[in-house]
Chain A
Amino acid sequence: MMPLRLLLVRNLREGARNPVLAYALPIIIPLAVLVLVAKTLYRVTELPGFPTTNYAEWMAPAIIMLTAMTGVGYAATSLVIDIQSGFLDRLRLLDAKPTTLLLSRALFDVVRVLPAGAVLLVVGIALGTDLNEGVLGVLLLFVLLTVWAAAYGGLYFVVALATRNAQAPLALAPLFLPLQFLSTQFVPESLLPGWVQALAAWNPFTYMIDAARAMTTGPLTAGPVVEAFAVALGLLIVTHAAARRAFVKAVSGK
């Protein structure tokens, strides 16, 4: 545990030295999407069958989950730099387990997302989102956000470690765009074209959004919550198993 704590402190210190890149950047895109969409497209709520009259309230829970997807990636780039600079070798010489470095970077990915989620929650409330499920709902929301961020961040680690290219994770950044449109973020499932409904059912982000809505505006039922955690944890296991394998391979010099 000690080496992990030391390395996490190292990451937090680096983040504090560069707060704009580390903490402000993940906020910008979700904030822009939420405010712009709520202020320009609000009349979609007049469509028959739209479940709320406040479009910001419809969007805010989805956008909070979106912070996970705009916030991760930085850590994967940093990890490749640690390998290339020889810093990883230095840690190995000091007899620290290499996977501790991977874990410390992955944890920092999540740490970066939480303030962004909090800011978006506050902005969402300011735009009229009701927290009908109270503290329990918000707590669950942030636990899910943590797992989702770690799971989605795993993708970046896989790409970064497989290519050993610090810039490669940047190519993954636009992935959140199709995932947004092929989900229930903008309109309820009933208003999506049939083929999008089919894709949305396979889109993990859809499950995050549906659960986030259940946890904030409600109603909080077991179904979407259990499904979302199952999807996020499943993805977490898959991406991090792959990331770990790629990392061990990179460390052994293969």
Chain B
Amino acid sequence: MLGKRYEAQAAAVDALADVSFTVEAGEVFGFLGRNGAGKSTTVRILTTLLAPTSGTARVGGHDVMEEPSAVRQMIGAALQEAALDELMTGREHLVLAGRLVGLTKPAAGERADELLTAFGLSGAADRVAATYSGGMRRRLDVSMAMVRRPPVLFLDEPTTGLDPQGRRALWQHIADLRSEGTAVFLTTQYLAEADELADRVAIIHDGRIAAIGTPQELKDRVDVTTVRLEVGAASRATAAAVTGDRSGVPAMLARLAAAGVEIERLAIMPPTLEDVFVKLTGSEIEVSAGLGEGGSLSAVRRGLGRS
């Protein structure tokens, strides 16, 4: 459908080397990467704020370089840092945005009230942004991105700084927008969030797309099995990754038994997006489990080995 599809093929010297993908209408596209991987650069290029050094990108059928104004009229964006005026109230932010996109004064006021209610900001609507908490700032910024009901929405780490309720409410909002046909480009540091929300995911590493596909496709591609076990009297939970499929597990258990390690609990877990991410980028974003007894755990890790 016209205006609900965008493609990008951008390359900016230091930040982006080779990035190309297409996002469809009614799709949530998760864009994952470590800090400095090129996520925000990609968002800034696609939202016309930054010119790519080479390559082209089209959003809603319009070239971001040739027709920036046409692109801006199709998109809403909440960038990584909440872009607020400390001296304006929440309602004034939304009314100004509404007026700037061409709404009449009453229509802009109505839209502002809708969004304030939807984002739980009604109570703080007439307070200046300087008094807002981090989560409220984030919610106001995201609501500003939605003022013009854009067919394409960019959210750059929108849930950073939100409390669990705020995060869940935003997830619900994104799911609703998707069902209305909005294309959502979502960058996030939270892999569980991408797993929950995204129809497709791209992992960007060193300015290149390292993998792209549905979360399930990506998980199927990695041969990592995580074994979570509690060992010894200390009974501390610990996780170990096995490279390879589950067939390595019996051998690992035999080695642990031979080393005299007592296993109290054991779980074999399917690959997660985090496993995919670690495998492709060589690093973890989230630390998922505390380490157990130093000695025995390193034995476990060695025992599991890269066999």
Contact = CB atoms under 8 A, between A and B. Distances in A.
A14 B129 CA distance: 12
Interface in A35-68: none
A96 B97 CA distance: 10
**Contact residues of A: prevailing secondary structure:** helix
Give 7 closest A-B pairs by Cβ, nearest first.
A86-B83, A90-B83, A95-B72, A94-B100, A14-B87, A86-B81, A87-B85
Interface string A85-115: 1110111111110000000000000000000
Most buried by A among B49, B51, B69: B49
Given A86-B79, A89-B49, A95-B69, A10 B86 contact: no
22 contacts: A2-B99, A3-B100, A6-B96, A13-B88, A17-B87, A85-B81, A85-B85, A86-B84, A87-B83, A87-B85, A89-B83, A90-B97, A92-B48, A93-B75, A93-B76, A93-B77, A93-B145, A94-B100, A94-B147, A94-B148, A95-B73, A252-B51
B157 interface: no
Contact of A82 (B76, B85, B144): B85
Given A86-B81, A87-B83, A92 B49 contact: yes
A97 to B, nearest CB: 10
Interface string B78-107: 010111111110001000110111000000
B298 to A, nearest CB: 46
B186 to A, nearest CB: 17
B118 interface: no
A178 interface: no
B50 interface: yes
Contacts, number: 62
A86 B81 CA distance: 7
Interface string A158-178: 000000000000000000000
B: contact size bracket: 20 to 34
A193 interface: no
Contacts of A223: none
Contacts of B69: 95
B272 interface: no
Interface in B31-69: 47-51, 69
A86 B69 CA distance: 19
B84 A6 contact: no
A194 interface: no
A86 B141 CA distance: 11
Contacts of A252: 51
Contact of A10 (B88, B128, B144): B88
A94 B101 contact: yes
Contacts of A86: 79, 81-84
B85 A10 contact: yes
Interface in A3-33: 3, 6, 10, 13-14, 17-18
